[in-house]
Amino acid sequence: MKYVFGADIGGTTVKLGLFDDQINLIDKWEIPTDKTDKGKNIVGDVCDSILAKMQEKGIDKADCIGVGVGAPGAVDEDGVMTGGAVNLGWDVFNLRTAMEEKLGGIKVIAGNDANVAAYGEMMKGGGQGHKNVVAVTLGTGVGGGVIIGGKLITGSTGAAGEIGHIRVADGEEEKCNCGHTGCLEQYASATGIARLARRRLAKDDKASSLRSAENLDAKAVFDAVKAGDEVAIEIAKEFGSYLGKGLASVADVVNPEIFVIGGGVSKAGEILLSFVAPEFVKYVFPPCKGAQFALATLGNDAGIYGCAGMLLSDI
């Protein structure tokens, strides 16, 4: 049997997976992400963990097809973290060759974490059966991954799919993390939904269960939506309008078959899609309006699946 590893490097933990060459998950585990010293131990820790797993399972190097790795930053086709990875403390370097060296020549492929998760969802998750997929991650921020003809688009500097920074509103006064204003991320991320909620509640005194919510977060908003709270429904409609408008722009450019919505916010379930799809149709160029909407299904495992799949698609 031949084996593939996936390693999804996040700001808190590194998720690792061992797969067979049909991308069936054999084992998964996590190690902490050591961000001390500008994250200089992370690559070694990940490689040590993979080599230890190979020993534990009695896997020869000859039977290891390779390792796919995802990291939170722009990664170009050669595996260079072109803008470093601010969350990990990394400067610009070639993640692929650094890992290949530590792994004694095992083949490595590197990609952006959101792109890799998108690829996982296409292969084994909510986008299964489709070749033109845009995956949207609604988490602390809004990330995305664009897959065309079954291949991930990385772009010229590895920053393709950064759909959270599409401008969807004029006149916004708060700044996005990227330095601009009116970015999709400011309204459709978990923090963005909380912002919409705070603003709506401050606008007037209309009764709402959200006024007594312990945490005025995306979960509280969608829980209140499900309970029929009118103010929460208004907030969800505003969220859906921004996200629908942003995804319409994406569809005008790449005309996908399906949008797969994941990330923490998507735990709200199908009801979330019901606020987005009708708004999307309002804004999208009519020949692109057939795009479907589905929820991501792999959760936190999307990254390791995508890493393994990306590696296999490259051999």
Where do contacts with a copy of itself occur on this chain (CB under 8 A)? 74, 82-83, 132, 144, 146, 148-149, 151, 153-163, 165-167, 169-170, 178-180, 245, 248-250, 252-257, 282-288, 290-291
Query: Least distance to a copy of itself from the beta carbon of 155, Å?
Result: 2
- Burial class of 313 by CB neighbour count within 10 A (0 to 12, 13 to 18, 19+): middle
Shortest Å distance, C-beta 32 to a copy of itself: 27
Task: Using the minimum distance from each CB to a copy of itself, give the nearer residue, 132 or 300.
Answer: 132
Q: Where does residue 263 fall: left (phi above 0), alpha (psi -120 to 50 degrees), or beta otherwise?
A: left
Q: Helix (H, G, I), strand (E, B), or coil: what is residue 108?
A: strand
State which residue, 173 or 205, has the beta carbon closest to a copy of itself.
173
CA gyration radius, the chain: 20
Please state, in angstroms and rounded to a whole number, the distance separating the CA atoms of residues 244 and 239: 8
Least gap, CB of 96 to a copy of itself (angstroms)? 18
CB of 285 to a copy of itself, least distance (A): 4
Q: 62 vs 17, 18, 156, CA distance in Å?
A: 18, 15, 33
Q: Which two tokens stand for residue 293?
A: 């909407």
- Compare residues 17 and 144 and give the one whose CB is closer to a copy of itself: 144
DSSP category for residue 104: T
**Cα 21 from Cα 3, distance rounded (Å):** 6
Give 158 or 306: the residue with its C-beta nearer to a copy of itself: 158
3-state DSSP call for residue 179? coil
Compare residues 27 and 252 and give the one whose CB is closer to a copy of itself.
Answer: 252
CB of 186 within 8 A of CB of 167? no
Cβ nearer to a copy of itself, comparing 108 with 146 = 146
| Cross-strand pairs, 292 | 258
